[in-house]
Amino acid sequence: MTAYQELERRHARIAAIGDALGILGWDTQTIMPEGANDGRAEQTATLSVIAHELATDPRMADLLAEAEAGAGDLDAWQRANLREMRRHHVHATAIPADLVEATSKAVSVCEMTWRAARAESDFAKLLPSLTEVLARVREGAEAMGAVMGISPYDALLDAHDPGARAERIDALFTDLAAFLPDLIGRVLDRQASQPAPLLPAGPFPVDRQRDLGVRMMERLGFDFSRGRLDVSLHPFCGGATGDVRITTRYDEANFADALMGVLHETGHALYEQNRPRAWLSQPVGQARGMAVHESQSLLMEMQACRSPEFITWLAPVVREAFGGEGPAWEADNLRRLYSRVERGFIRVNADEVTYPAHVILRYRLEKALIAGDLTLPDLPGAWNDGMAELVGVVPPDDRQGCLQDIHWPGGGWGYFPSYTLGAMTAAQLFEAARTADPEIVPALSRGEFAPLVTWLRVNVHETGCYHASGDDLLRAATGRPLDASVFKRHLERRYL
């Protein structure tokens, strides 16, 4: 067995442990009884340590050096896999095993505390466990940054999106922050000059909402023999290789939030279900960073499923699903309703125009928290100040403010920028797809996604991590790296 073949064998074992952790994570957020949290924290910490020990085995460094010396004998996919193995090794060896275990335990405790604190709108209840998570995350980021020669926050960004740096994101987000206020004002003025869209009258029974969601998942191409739909406090896509599980949450007064949540998470799920089959257990077979992953969910939800063409097809479907009648259920009304721009408190319910402002707020706050420029006790006030500045509203309580997201309690620091980078990527990919296949948009007007998904499968899903970065993937798929002007043009075209 060659050094490269031995590396493949070892990474397949690490991937299997990751899949087990994925199923445990899904269970924790969906059906695990509250009293099982201590045991689950121990289980996930143990598996995390085992995976970390495998990844940091001293033999790994020797195998990587030997395989790299013989890289000329490898094919292009194997060389890309070896590149990703090296990247994983750098990240893994920078953080000691005891810190991996401590972080995993802190996150497990904090996630469960967050559920109760959010329900009670009690930030003080979350503060002790979130303080512990932040300390562990900061310690890991400092260790990673020291090894890679970058700042702690850049190290967190790099873990989610290889090559991502705060300096570039600062420039992109400063540009967006300057563009958005005028755009939001113009869009709101335009809306005010038109009749307000009518809200379809409920209630909308949960069983019918679920049936509709399943039907839409099937239309998009989700394979239910390798996945499922469930309910959680915060919608997500998780599970394991070959077992992709998405969740949503239901409100009997509003079917649109659950439906759009399902469409969003199905975009993630299609990426996972269509990763390169020959490389599923290898680093090169994984998704190419979280900005690209978010682009797949936002492309489906925002670019495709909120398009006038798709809503024209969707209108009679939802009318039949809920027994609706009257002008509120007409396609033109639903189109105006689902392109409605409002200054709101909740990120996951935000429209496409104000959403980047929510992300910019979180980016600024978490960067300050990691750097020590902001303390956690001051977070609620800083959050509310930022919401007033960027979105133009102040949350009435912490449940609708700094307690709304699971990311920080869950250890997902440095992730938030991926959402808006993903929205920009989605606009660029959708523009390239429409240009490459003029049948894509007419197919959406018939509720058919095969042309779009086929293009995405070839240009994104099945490429895994073959390309070294998200920009390299974009160059191959669209002919250029990430270009913010495409996203701005999309927003102006749709909303003005």
Q: What is the pLDDT of residues 32-51, one digit of tens each?
A: 998 999 999 899 989 998 99
CA atoms within 13 A on the CB side of 37: 16
Q: Look at residue 308 and tell me whether its pLDDT is greater than 90.
A: yes
What is the C-alpha radius of gyration for the chain, rounded to an integer number of angstroms? 22
* Cβ within 8 Å of residue 451, ≥6 positions away: 437, 439, 440, 443
Query: How far apart are alpha carbons 196 and 437 in whole angstroms?
Result: 35
Q: Look at residue 251 and tell me whether its pLDDT is greater than 90.
A: yes
Local confidence band at 314 (pLDDT 50, 70, 90 cut-offs): very high
Place of tokens 């909740």: 346
What average pLDDT does this structure show over 144-155?
A: 96
Local confidence band at 233 (pLDDT 50, 70, 90 cut-offs): confident
Sign of CA dihedral 349, 355, 357, 362: positive
Q: Look at residue 132 and tell me whether its pLDDT is greater than 90.
A: yes
* Cβ within 8 Å of residue 158, ≥6 positions away: 144, 148, 150, 164, 165
Q: Look at residue 349 and tell me whether its pLDDT is greater than 90.
A: no
Chain center to CA of 389: 25
Structure tokens at 194: 């038109």
Local confidence band at 418 (pLDDT 50, 70, 90 cut-offs): very high
Catalytic residues: 265
- The share of the chain scoring above pLDDT 90, in percent, equals 93
Phi, psi angles (nearest 5°) of residue 322: -115, 10
Local confidence band at 163 (pLDDT 50, 70, 90 cut-offs): confident
What average pLDDT does this structure show over 274-280?
A: 98
* Cis amide bond preceding 203, omega within 30: yes
Query: How far apart are alpha carbons 473 and 186 in whole angstroms?
Result: 34
Q: What is the pLDDT of residues 45-100, one digit of tens each?
A: 899 989 999 999 999 999 999 999 999 999 999 999 999 999 999 999 998 889 98
What average pLDDT does this structure show over 386-390?
A: 92
Q: Look at residue 306 and tell me whether its pLDDT is greater than 90.
A: yes
Query: How far apart are alpha carbons 301 and 295 in whole angstroms?
Result: 10
Q: Beta strand 237-240 with 243-248: parallel, antiparallel or unpaired?
A: antiparallel
Q: List 238's β-bridge partners, or say none.
A: 245
Nearest to 267 by CA among 241, 242, 243, 244: 244
